[in-house]
């Protein structure tokens, strides 16, 4: 999920398959971190009242991976949450802050990463952890799994940002995969719909709104 989302790197994940409605296996190429997260501070910047209020909202919404960046001008900040990659979340937060600073004719180079949200068991000095976001993992192991039906196909896809889409009760694998990707990419496009033209172009060039299937249920 994103407050005003921006930039990322597409996850390169493999295709996994399970057999039967009750069978479920996580793709081993997609790292998962379990439930729970923690807050990691990266800066001792003194926050204004406005920035402190933004930080409270950020902490109230976040699941891993998440990040927030600030500019000395207290109306310039940007955060993202429930992204599939820590590095991506941090880059998105800083990049979003820089875009807002430019719009306000402020120096974008003054935007700095302030804090991150990571899985509770992860080393706070980790820089490049990636896999599934906290919300994505809950969706994959919860609603997606429960909706699968015996004798039918299903698939789960993720974007290079924090989006996902999935299918169930499909007659063939091609339909399950194609519809999951279409659902995921529609969610990704909807997420960036309110961004600037320049930012949307960056996302499209990097194919960040392109989705990959990470799991298939097979009868």
The Cβ of residue 167 has, within 10 Å, a number of other Cβ atoms equal to 26
Radius of gyration of the chain (CA): 18
Which are the contacts of 74, defined by CB distance < 8 A and separation ≥ 6? 47, 48, 49, 50, 51
DSSP β-bridge partners for residue 85: 130
When the pLDDT of each residue in the chain is averaged and rounded to a whole number, the result is 85
Query: What's the CA gap between 78 and 84, in Å, rounded?
Result: 18
Q: Where are the domains of the chain?
A: 17-31+132-218, 37-119
pTM, two decimal places: 0.81
Question: Long-range CB contacts (< 8 A, 24+ apart) of 190-196?
Answer: 191/2, 191/5, 191/161, 191/162, 191/163, 192/5, 194/4, 195/4, 195/5, 195/6, 196/99, 196/103
- The model's pLDDT over 140-166, given as tens digits with 9 standing for 90+, comes to 999 999 999 999 999 999 998 999 999
User: For 202, left (φ over 0), alpha (ψ -120 to 50), or beta?
Assistant: alpha
User: At 41, is the secondary structure helix, strand, or coil?
Assistant: strand
- The model's pLDDT over 95-146, given as tens digits with 9 standing for 90+, comes to 889 989 999 999 999 999 999 999 999 999 888 888 899 999 999 999 999 9
């Amino acid at each position: 999920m994103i407050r005003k989302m921006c930039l990322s790197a597409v996850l390169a994940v493999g295709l996994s398959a399970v057999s039967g409605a009750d069978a479920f296996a996580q793709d081993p190429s997609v790292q998962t971190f379990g439930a729970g997260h923690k807050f990691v501070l990266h800066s001792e910047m003194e926050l204004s009242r406005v920035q402190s209020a933004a930080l409270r909202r950020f902490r109230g919404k976040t699941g891993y991976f998440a990040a927030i960046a600030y500019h000395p001008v207290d109306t310039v900040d940007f955060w993202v949450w429930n992204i599939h990659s820590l590095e991506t979340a941090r880059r998105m937060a800083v990049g979003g802050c820089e875009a807002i600073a430019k719009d306000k004719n402020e120096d974008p180079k003054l935007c700095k990463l302030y804090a991150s949200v990571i899985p509770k068991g992860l080393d706070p000095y980790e820089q490049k952890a990636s896999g599934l976001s906290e919300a994505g993992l809950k969706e994959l192991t919860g609603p997606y799994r429960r909706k699968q039906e015996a004798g039918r196909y299903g698939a789960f896809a993720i974007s290079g940002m924090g989006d996902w889409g999935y299918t169930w009760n499909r007659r063939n694998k091609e339909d399950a995969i194609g519809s999951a990707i279409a659902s995921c990419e529609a969610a990704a496009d909807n997420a960036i719909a309110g961004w600037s033209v320049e930012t949307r172009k960056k996302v499209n060039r990097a194919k960040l709104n392109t989705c990959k299937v990470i799991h298939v249920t097979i009868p």
